[in-house]
Each structure stands twice: as C-alpha cells, then as structure tokens.
C-alpha cells in the first residue's frame, strides 16, 4: 500500500489548484512544490482555475462517445471525436462561467448548480 498526499497551495485565483499523488517514492515536499508551481503558473499566465467536475469531463465525455458509436454501429475518426469534445467542453465552460458571473458565485458552485439543474424534471 502506498501513502497518498494531497496538497493545496493558494485559492486567490479561484478554487485551489491541487495536486494529488499516490506512489511509493513521492514525498510531501515534492507535492507541495508541485502545488506551489501550479499556483504560480496559473497566476502568471492568467489561467482560471476550474474544479474537477469540469476539468475531468473530457474522459467521461469520450467514454460516452464510445458508447454512442458502439450502440449505433458507427465509427468516428479521432478528428471527429476531438471536434465534438472541444465543442462540448467549450460550451460547458462558457455556461459555467456565465452562471458564475450572473449569480455571483465561484465556478465550483456554478458547475454544481448547473449539474443539479440538469437533473431536475
């Protein structure tokens, strides 16, 4: 069994940009350095920090696309998958940021709120 570490450095630019590692050779100090590096990188480049619910959606979306193709006996080339994925991610990001601005909440709350709204009948 490996020790696992999770480090959060700074949330000034939005939700924490966190780093998580599970490996026998990883130390807490290495992980703290990675988290600090990501905070500075995002700040210097003006990259907004978004939560996992939106950031991890690419893999879930592509898995859904695979299911759709299998179900319909279709085959999309990688360019088509990328095109569809980019469209979906951009739309989700725009909706999330619009909601966050409109409701004056952080992007994390906006993403969760939109997810919950999509479940309502």
pLDDT in tens, 92-109: 889 989 999 999 998 878
Specify whether 35 is located in the same domain as 65: no
Quote the domain boundaries for residue 14: 4-45
Specify whether 68 is located in the same domain as 41: no
Per the structure, the count of domains in the chain is 2
Q: How many Å apart are CA 55 and CA 87, to the nearest integer?
A: 14
What's the token pair of residue 108? 């994390």
The pLDDT score that the predictor gives to residue 104 is 94
| pLDDT reading at 32 higher than 80 | no
Specify whether 77 is located in the same domain as 27: no
Q: How confident is the model at residue 119 (pLDDT cuts 50, 70, 90)?
A: confident
What is the tally of helices (H) and strands (E) in the chain?
Answer: 5, 2
The pLDDT score that the predictor gives to residue 95 is 93
Specify whether 27 is located in the same domain as 85: no
Q: How many Å apart are CA 110 and CA 116, to the nearest integer?
A: 10
How confident is the model over 73-89, as a mean pLDDT?
89
92: number of Cβ within 10 Å: 17
| pLDDT reading at 74 higher than 60 | yes
């Amino acid at each position: 069994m490996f020790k696992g570490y999770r480090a959060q450095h700074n949330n000034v630019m939005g939700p924490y940009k966190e780093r998580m590692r599970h490996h026998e050779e990883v130390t807490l100090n290495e992980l703290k350095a990675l988290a600090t590096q990501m905070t500075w990188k995002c700040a210097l480049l003006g990259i907004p920090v978004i939560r996992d619910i939106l950031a991890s959606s690419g893999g879930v979306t592509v898995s859904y696309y695979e299911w759709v193709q299998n179900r319909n006996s279709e085959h999309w080339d990688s360019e088509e998958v990328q095109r569809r994925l980019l469209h979906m991610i951009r739309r989700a990001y725009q909706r999330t940021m619009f909601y966050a601005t409109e409701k004056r909440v952080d992007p994390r709350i906006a993403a969760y709120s939109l997810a919950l709204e999509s479940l309502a009948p």
